[in-house]
Chains A and B, each alone.
Chain A
């Protein structure tokens, strides 16, 4: 049982700082393999063979054992083919999947909510229409693995561009296209690899292995398995962006009209973008395609009618299946509806620590501010707050977070520790409680600074569209 002596915030923060059994061992095997990619696999050295063997050993008790052992051996001998690289990427992904599961189980104990319900993922849909593009992407990724992060140069990195350009127009290939585009831009900004210091070792190995697996038929397929009819109560907006793509995800509690268990769901909208569209321009790009963003800004619920939902709780949003509902206050939702809401199980390929984003409500904490940023003291335990994840185009700032008394956020995990990403906070201003939301400007704003940001963004896109109109269609 969970002690209920911290006001509404019943999180067992002590569990978040406790050791998780087996975590260090699994991550050591991952790190061993990731180190192999730093120097590349063109002419493998004995030290790299150790990293490869360690990965194989870590999955020796799994169905992957035989294939990974063979791949590790061939790769160490400098004779790896594409299938071997795929096997290694799969082994690494499986290991991080187990890390994800252990961390999610720990979060479940800490927040004391109903666990994930298995809802079964649907089979991959249809034939693969993009065999050639996938093959081209895989071939580039294998070249990358051979070169290693210290071996990248502009010519090698530029090999991704034609593949990305061919994939972007096809919405079904958007996942791999957005990933490769962001990954290649980072590599390009880090060229030449020979002089690169402080390589983001785990990150690039993550992006590499994920991209390799997404080139396999059906890997990116996440079809809807049901229709959601009922009331959707937003908790907040999470924004993700790289130079040429943006995604906004609304985290919400869904209450089925039939009185079934409330569920934690997400609604997403994403778009490719020019790198000069930033800040408020991101909201402008996404706003017309997700009416939910307006509901978030207005503080409303939405009523859904048979909205398609995937096996892991992603609503495939369709404006025609949603209409604006009653006013709904985020902190009321977090206090009343969130504690009984059950999460969906994560799809097998998405099981990775970076994917963990568990909505939580925290109250009665003390705020710590030092050179490392903001942290909350929750029941004597320190929880770092990742204020950098709060979108710049919004009223929620690190200063506002630091002066708050209650916070709705996403519990995340990175680089060995749990972090809190604030979605909204409550603070007391002249003896009144005021809520400030990270996504307040998502649907538009009358805030003075917000209006200025919107105007600048409108002008930027106008110039680009005008140029595109003159030059693209000639």
Chain B
């Protein structure tokens, strides 16, 4: 039945295009995403519970930036990746899988089963420069938008549209 010329993915209504995130511990890096042409996210401060760092690495150039949510520059991110950015890369690989992260950032990693450290190495080896950090406010507001998803009221009215989004056992 159906058109033999199309692949199963092409003629499927319910093909899974984006696998769900892999579960990970959120205490250290509560938010990470691949968006706006960057790997970006929010990293908890190791010393101050009320402080977070907004960190990002640009796709392609690996230009990086790290500052607090109050826009103070991170002392560790002068000239090289700070520990916040390293943690961000590791958690991104945990959440999305190494394939999606390297594809998005345009990173070439060799080896059998590359991990987060390999991705970091591949980027630092190109001697990336400090970005201008102008994205911090935007990243932080995306984090707040992300947190707001916990606050919306659940509903018991049916959402027939969710039939197009079956759960899957596959993970990123």
Q: Given A269-B154, A274-B147, A467-B147: A456 and B10 within 8 A (CB)?
A: no
A interface residues with partner B (beta carbon < 8 Å): 19-20, 23-24, 27-28, 31, 154, 158, 161, 165, 168-169, 171, 174-176, 178-179, 182, 185-186, 188-190, 198-203, 206-207, 210, 214, 222, 239-245, 247, 249, 266-279, 281, 285-286, 289-290, 310, 314-318, 350, 352-355, 357, 386-392, 398, 414-417, 421, 456-457, 459-461, 463-465, 467-468, 470-472
Indicate whether B168 reaches chain A with its CB closer than 8 angstroms: yes
Q: Given A171-B153, A316-B156: A203 and B13 within 8 A (CB)?
A: yes
Chain B neighbourhood of A198, CB < 8 A: 7, 9-10
Chain B neighbourhood of A456, CB < 8 A: 23, 25
Q: Given A175-B161, A464-B30: A201 and B11 within 8 A (CB)?
A: yes
By the criterion CB–CB under 8 Å, are B23 and A273 in contact?
Answer: no
Chain B neighbourhood of A202, CB < 8 A: 6, 10-13
Q: Given A182-B165, A243-B18: A464 and B150 within 8 A (CB)?
A: yes
By the criterion CB–CB under 8 Å, are A417 and B10 in contact?
Answer: no
By the criterion CB–CB under 8 Å, are B167 and A355 in contact?
Answer: no
Expressed in whole angstroms, the minimum distance between the Cβ of B148 and any Cβ of chain A is 7
By the criterion CB–CB under 8 Å, are B155 and A269 in contact?
Answer: yes
A-B contacts besides A19-B1, A281-B23, A471-B144, 6 pairs, CB < 8 Å: A24-B1, A27-B2, A460-B26, A464-B147, A468-B147, A472-B148
User: Looking at the complex, which one of A271, A353, A386, A472 makes contact with B152 (CB distance below 8 Å)?
Assistant: A271
By the criterion CB–CB under 8 Å, are A243 and B147 in contact?
Answer: no
By the criterion CB–CB under 8 Å, are B167 and A389 in contact?
Answer: yes
CA distance A201 to B7 in the complex (A): 10
By the criterion CB–CB under 8 Å, are B17 and A190 in contact?
Answer: yes
Chain B neighbourhood of A350, CB < 8 A: 160
Indicate whether B113 reaches chain A with its CB closer than 8 angstroms: no
CB contact list, B155-172 vs A, under 8 A: 155-171
The prevalent SS among residues of B at the interface is: loop
CA distance A468 to B145 in the complex (A): 10
Chain A neighbourhood of B149, CB < 8 A: 168, 244, 272-274
By the criterion CB–CB under 8 Å, are B163 and A354 in contact?
Answer: yes
By the criterion CB–CB under 8 Å, are A28 and B3 in contact?
Answer: yes
The A/B interface has a contact count, at CB < 8 Å, of: 242
By the criterion CB–CB under 8 Å, are B26 and A186 in contact?
Answer: no
Expressed in whole angstroms, the minimum distance between the Cβ of A116 and any Cβ of chain B is 16
Looking at B25, B154, B161, the one whose CB has the most chain A CB atoms below 10 A away is B161
Indicate whether B125 reaches chain A with its CB closer than 8 angstroms: no
Indicate whether B134 reaches chain A with its CB closer than 8 angstroms: no
Contact with A along B85-129 (1 / 0, CB 8 A): 000000000010000100000000000000000000000000000
By the criterion CB–CB under 8 Å, are B158 and A388 in contact?
Answer: no
CA distance A279 to B156 in the complex (A): 20
Chain A neighbourhood of B35, CB < 8 A: 154, 188
By the criterion CB–CB under 8 Å, are A200 and B3 in contact?
Answer: no
Q: Given A203-B15, A390-B169: A241 and B20 within 8 A (CB)?
A: yes
* A–B Cβ pairs within 8 angstroms, 10 of them: A202-B12, A210-B161, A241-B162, A247-B162, A273-B150, A274-B146, A386-B166, A392-B169, A416-B11, A467-B147
By the criterion CB–CB under 8 Å, are B159 and A203 in contact?
Answer: no
Contact with A along B46-81 (1 / 0, CB 8 A): 000010100000000000000001000000000000
CA distance A470 to B52 in the complex (A): 11
By the criterion CB–CB under 8 Å, are A274 and B156 in contact?
Answer: no
Expressed in whole angstroms, the minimum distance between the Cβ of A398 and any Cβ of chain B is 8
CA distance A391 to B168 in the complex (A): 7
By the criterion CB–CB under 8 Å, are A200 and B9 in contact?
Answer: yes
By the criterion CB–CB under 8 Å, are A317 and B156 in contact?
Answer: yes
Looking at B10, B36, B157, the one whose CB has the most chain A CB atoms below 10 A away is B157
Q: Given A239-B167, A243-B20: A276 and B26 within 8 A (CB)?
A: yes
By the criterion CB–CB under 8 Å, are A316 and B26 in contact?
Answer: no
Expressed in whole angstroms, the minimum distance between the Cβ of B7 and any Cβ of chain A is 7
Q: Given A200-B17, A391-B167: A272 and B30 within 8 A (CB)?
A: no
User: Looking at the complex, which one of B18, B37, B100 makes contact with A185 (CB distance below 8 Å)?
Assistant: B18
By the criterion CB–CB under 8 Å, are B21 and A168 in contact?
Answer: no
User: Looking at the complex, which one of A201, A272, A278 makes contact with B21 (CB distance below 8 Å)?
Assistant: A278
Expressed in whole angstroms, the minimum distance between the Cβ of A251 and any Cβ of chain B is 12
Which B-chain residue is minimally distant from A38 (CB atoms)? B10
Q: Given A31-B3, A355-B163: A415 and B8 within 8 A (CB)?
A: yes
By the criterion CB–CB under 8 Å, are B167 and A392 in contact?
Answer: yes
Expressed in whole angstroms, the minimum distance between the Cβ of A296 and any Cβ of chain B is 15
Expressed in whole angstroms, the minimum distance between the Cβ of B88 and any Cβ of chain A is 14
Chain A neighbourhood of B158, CB < 8 A: 222, 247, 249, 266, 268, 270, 310, 314, 316
Q: Given A31-B6, A174-B159, A206-B164: A472 and B12 within 8 A (CB)?
A: no
By the criterion CB–CB under 8 Å, are A270 and B154 in contact?
Answer: yes
By the criterion CB–CB under 8 Å, are A414 and B7 in contact?
Answer: no
